[in-house]
Structure 1
Amino acid sequence: MMEQNRLLAGLELEDSELLFPHMAEMEFPQGMELSMPGLPADHCYFPTAGIISTVVVSPEGNQAEIGVIGREGMSPSSAILGADRNPYRTVIQVAGRGWRVPRTDLLRYLDARPAARSIMLRWTQAFSCQIAFSALSNAVHSVDERLARWILMCHDRLEGDRLVLTHEFLAIMLAVRRASVTNALHVLEGHGFIYSQRGVIIVRDRAALEAFAADAYGGSEREYARLFPARAAGSGG
């Protein structure tokens, strides 16, 4: 249902009824590519479960994840600003489901519904804040702290404590080699924060993991809570 996505749930009833005919519900299998850098972004996606990964790609093919999107948001946020292309690669990191709408239909709808546009623009601000804090974390925090941050962000967006995150995705998330991922997982597991085995991470002590992440986690989450106070609890940012 549309209300399972927090952005769509925030729309007025009349706005929801006008948008619904343009929406198509779909499954999001892990690894599904939603957009590629420089190519037209024909659709926008509103997850109700699972996680979309936003990845920046260098001309030589190096990759680093800069943001994650779950049921609190949509992708690509660049479409809200009128851009017909998303500069990033967006891919389903954790399988789920959600809604798809043609980008041109969404833009026409937002032009006609200023209250809905305001909600979407607030989301764009929240996501740009997440990207900024990802850049800060990559610059100043250790690999272990950065891994703790990403695990917390994924935990915010999924039901339960079990996260299906492959070493390949974790390496992209942290912009490091797989060996560094393995070492960081061992550190967090050694502290008793998580349990990790064969692409599955189980969060065992959320509070201790937050304390370990320190100021690597929480900046963009506070901005999301400020922009969406009624829907901030458990949503991530």
Structure 2
Amino acid sequence: MPDAEWLRWQPQLELCKMPLGEVLYESGASLHYVYFPTNAIVSLLYVLEDGSSAEIAVVGQEGVVGIAIFMGGGSTPNQAVVQSAGMGYRLHADAIKAEFERSIPVMHLMLRFTQALITQMSQTAVCNRHHSVDQQLCRWLLLSLDRLSGDELVMTHHLISNMLGVRREGVTEAARKLQESGLIRYARGRISVLDRPGLERRVCECYSVVKNEYDRLLPSRVAV
């Protein structure tokens, strides 16, 4: 973000804790804030009537949660839940809408992120339909690691199965295969990635499609 816009934003940003499992917004509810995770990860989930769910995207330090506000919808059919605890900032809906309409650089930045997010959602749908559970798990681990500073995630098999929309037994078997291959270590709800290059060799093409699009649209500094 250009320095002038950032200086104007700073007084309006509110630092907030983002504990594991916190629901930032529910399906169909009016959104009052956008959130900018700093070291937390937020899952965007679609929850069915029977209570089952599937993750459609993850957002971390690269992005913003609550795009429906500046895109004009005001609400969305998905749910946003903190997947990895941490901190973040939030900005009131009126403020982000005003900035989106006022500043061309802000509008371009938010639209580029939205395009990247749509790519992730689309590729997730393809991956869930055509690729194995262990490939999906590799994709999910790598996307999560890209949004964290370390190589460890706090996540149970039950929560991962809810994210991927598959049976818990399938996740357990996939995690066992990755552990036996020396790629990860799983114990007491913590997953440590031991061999990231190995995960990258094992993952399906979906991860690189998403990563390349984020790198293209959201480099660290972009002329707008």
**Class of the TM-score when normalised by the shorter of the 2 chains:** over 0.9
Amino acid at match of 2:134: D
Task: Establish whether residue 35 from structure 1 lines up as the match of residue 30 from structure 2.
Answer: no
CA 1:56/1:231 → structure 2, altered by over 3 Å: closer, same or farther?
farther
Asked if structure 2 preserves the Cα contact closer than 8 Å seen for 1:50 and 1:93, the reply is yes
- Aligned position for 2:135: 145
What are the equivalent positions in structure 2 for 1:1-237 lying under 5 Å apart? 11-230=1-220
Instruction: Name whichever of 63-72 and 11-20 sits farther off.
Output: 11-20
Find the residue that maps to 1:78 and give its secondary structure. helix
TM-score between both structures, scaled by the size of structure 1: 0.90
Amino acid at match of 1:47: P
Amino acid at match of 2:126: L
Asked if structure 2 preserves the Cα contact closer than 8 Å seen for 1:145 and 1:216, the reply is no
Instruction: Name whichever of 29-38 and 175-184 sits farther off.
Output: 175-184
Deviations 1:151-182 (A, max 9, x none): 11111111111111122320122211212111
Find the residue that maps to 2:178 and give its secondary structure. helix
Q: What is the CA-CA distance between 1:68 and the residue it aligns to?
A: 0.6
Find the residue that maps to 1:30 and give its secondary structure. coil
Q: What is the CA-CA distance between 1:20 and the residue it aligns to?
A: 1.8
Asked if structure 2 preserves the Cα contact closer than 8 Å seen for 1:35 and 1:86, the reply is no
- Tell me, in whole angstroms, the C-alpha distance in 2 between the residues paired with 1:230 and 1:48: 15
- Tell me, in whole angstroms, the C-alpha distance in 2 between the residues paired with 1:151 and 1:117: 31
Q: What is the CA-CA distance between 1:217 and the residue it aligns to?
A: 1.6
Asked if structure 1 preserves the Cα contact closer than 8 Å seen for 2:41 and 2:84, the reply is yes
Sequence identity (%): 36
Find the residue that maps to 2:203 and give its secondary structure. helix
RMSD: 1.4
Count of residue correspondences: 222
Q: What is the CA-CA distance between 1:120 and the residue it aligns to?
A: 0.7
Which blocks of at least 5 consecutive residues in structure 1 are unaligned? 1-10, 233-237
Which blocks of at least 5 consecutive residues in structure 2 are unaligned? none
TM-score between both structures, scaled by the size of structure 2: 0.95
Q: Tell me which stretches of 4 or more aligned residues in structure 1 moved more than 6 Å.
A: none
- Tell me, in whole angstroms, the C-alpha distance in 2 between the residues paired with 1:86 and 1:21: 28
